[in-house]
Structure 1
Amino acid sequence: MIVVVVSRILQWLHLQPQHSLSWPSPPSPRSSTEKLVLPLSASSQKTSFTDVPSEESRTHHFPSVHAPIVFVICLLPISTALVFYCTSTLPITLAWPRTLEDVAQLGRELTAYTQSGTWPLLHVMGVMAITAIWKHAWSIPGSVIWNVLAGALFSPIIATLFLTTLTTIGSICATLLATPLAPFLTYLFPRALDMTRTALHGESDNPQDDSTTEVHKSKSSAWVRLSVLRLVGVVPWSGINIACGVCGVSLGDCVMGAFIGCLPWTAVTCQIGDILQTVVSTSSNSTPESISSILMSPRIIIKLALLSFLSLAPILARNRLRKMIHPSVFQSSPENEQSSRRNWVRDLRTKISKTRSRDRKPSLKLNILVQEKRAIEELPS
């Protein structure tokens, strides 16, 4: 049934070639000196020089620009139905967690299901993969819940690599889905799109310079810029995915930038899930411990230290990340640094001298007025 529906959609999106407007020049028995000669049809049975389109082609003909957008719109309900069907196959009581208690309940149910065998584990991983890719592809919030659950179900390393791969695949899908919007956004916002394309592709900061060495110094790869944007966290990841599709960034750069940029934040969320699972499992044992004793254990302390390092690493390394984006700004020669310092000192002296001259002007005017008054008083009456 799905194959028939997909084939029908592809038939609807089939594009008919546009007919040529050039008139043929059939041989005419008349003299070549005549200027106005009507072209003759090649056959006496036809009154048209082109093939008349059939009724089916007239009905199911779409413009070439709208066809990809129609295909993307059709993918949204189909993929959503697939995700809901896959989620319904899991033996859980909650449709989607909304509070921390719901997340804990969902984690307990999935943990009990995955520990029952290998196939249940693969089942959970498959549903998690489909749902995570769908969320990132359509920029739907809530993917961090799967990161926390994956950290609770698997080991932190496996969960981090697994969810980072899913995030990368979802980002690539979002980039491909945003590609058909490029003609419309280019027409509506040409200048903003050009600035975004320049920022993502890493063009030279000094375009007037013709030397290739300086261009290579001031230019960084697109995947480096994408990685830095994701690590810093100022721009939403969904916005980065859409910008990559609209601006035509290569898929290789998108894959590298998404994987490297998402790795630390995915590790943080998976580590949180592992810590929560450790606290819950320890407190539910036959000999329950207090929360303070659990948090003071060496294992939890190491995990918290690693969590703090991963969360603060992009902030502490912001200067190094800036150097990766603009190496020409930070890799200046000593002579340029000395000249810039001299110019700064010269400007400072000029400003100080101007302020002093401004302070002296009122006193000079006052002295002149006093001298004029004394001269007037000394005049004979």
Structure 2
Amino acid sequence: MRSVVGLVTVVAASTFYLYLLSSYLPPGPQLVKRNNDEGVESSGENSENNLRSDGRLAESRLKFPSDLEELKEMAQLLRYYKTEHGGYVLLLFCSAYLYKQTFAIPGSSLLNVLAGALFGPWQGLLLACVLTTVGATFCFLLSRAFGKQHIVRLFPDKVAVLQKKVQENHSSLFFLLLFLRFFPMSPNWFLNMSCPIFNIPLTLFSMSVFIGLMPYNFVCVQTGSVLSELSSLDQLLSWRVVLQLLLVAFAALLPGAVIRHYSCTRLQPSSTAVKKD
């Protein structure tokens, strides 16, 4: 009972913080309208009304994107605010990302794409990798504090299979964790919540998340960076964009191919373990 109350308290407090952060927006960059022929500037009252209207519109549009259309609108809105409130946009993005990762809410891939559109390919990649690692670590700690017994009760078969893999490959545990991130037999959210059950060291877990999910983050961030530069769908078929996307795909597949090649010698298959027994 205490674990449920503690978990609900953490979720409620985090949700309230994110709600306050997204509700009380700073004023957007003021756009002063002029009439070039008459040299007349818009009145202060009208400008103030426009800012209030823009603020209400922005507040209604600040939500987790669920598709590419909403993602595009969100990117336009945050790029508009980023011109004068870069710190606020960074804080809002990091808070939303960590919220999703900590509580295992689907949709992080769209936020990775948004990182590429807002912060560029390399800053966006670094930010996505750090936030993925920190968010997964928070999920790990939350599960260790409140949820281990519930994970075992809800997913007994998955826990048993993963526990067997950990026991068989205890001597190459870090390599196993990397392999599971590149070729997940279970979703990432389940790995984040179940690793405390097997007493995986936190440092080992965090390093495997940072390295193992880097190719996935790279693909999403680079895609967001490419798409943010397009002004029409015709540009999507240009040679520059096609070659850039092919390079992204190759860079993402290469680490996985290396891991798969060495997995035969480093990781012990279940069949071998059965024969030894």
Q: Please report how far the alpha carbon of residue 144 of structure 1 lies from its aligned counterpart in structure 2 after TM superposition.
A: 1.6
Structure 1, unpaired ranges of 5+: 1-65, 205-218, 284-289, 330-381
Q: Quick one: distance in 1 between partners of 2:229 and 2:205?
A: 35
Distance 1:316 1:189, change over 3 A: closer
Contact residue 107 and residue 153 of structure 1 kept, 8 A: yes
Partner of 1:115: 83
- Residue 99 of structure 1 aligns with an amino acid whose one-letter code is D
Q: Quick one: distance in 2 between partners of 1:188 and 1:236?
A: 15
2:244 to 303, 306, 329: 303
Contact residue 174 and residue 208 of structure 2 kept, 8 A: yes
Q: Quick one: distance in 2 between partners of 1:75 and 1:176?
A: 12
Secondary structure class of the residue paired with 1:123: helix
Distance 1:188 1:270, change over 3 A: closer
Q: Quick one: distance in 1 between partners of 2:71 and 2:155?
A: 42
Secondary structure class of the residue paired with 1:264: helix
Tell which structure's C-alpha radius of gyration is larger: 1
Distance 1:321 1:136, change over 3 A: farther
Partner of 1:95: 62
1:271 to 214, 222, 227: 222
Q: Quick one: distance in 1 between partners of 2:138 and 2:197?
A: 13
Cα RMSD for the two superposed structures: 2.8
Structure 2, unpaired ranges of 5+: 26-54, 271-277
Contact residue 265 and residue 311 of structure 1 kept, 8 A: yes
Partner of 2:116: 151
Q: Quick one: distance in 1 between partners of 2:103 and 2:125?
A: 22
Partner of 1:255: 206
Distance 1:304 1:74, change over 3 A: same
Contact residue 113 and residue 220 of structure 2 kept, 8 A: yes
Distance 1:309 1:70, change over 3 A: same
Partner of 1:142: 107
Equivalence map 1:202-221=2 (5 Å): 203=169, 219-220=171-172
Partner of 2:234: 291
1:79 to 11, 14, 21: 14
Q: Quick one: distance in 1 between partners of 2:68 and 2:150?
A: 42
1:319 to 249, 256, 260: 260
Contact residue 143 and residue 193 of structure 2 kept, 8 A: yes
Matched, 1:169 2:129: no
Which has more helix, going by share of residues? 2
- Name the count of aligned residue pairs: 236
Q: Please report how far the alpha carbon of residue 87 of structure 1 lies from its aligned counterpart in structure 2 after TM superposition.
A: 2.2
Query: Normalising by the residue count of structure 2, what TM-score does the alignment of the two structures yield?
Result: 0.74
Contact residue 177 and residue 245 of structure 1 kept, 8 A: no
Secondary structure class of the residue paired with 2:229: helix
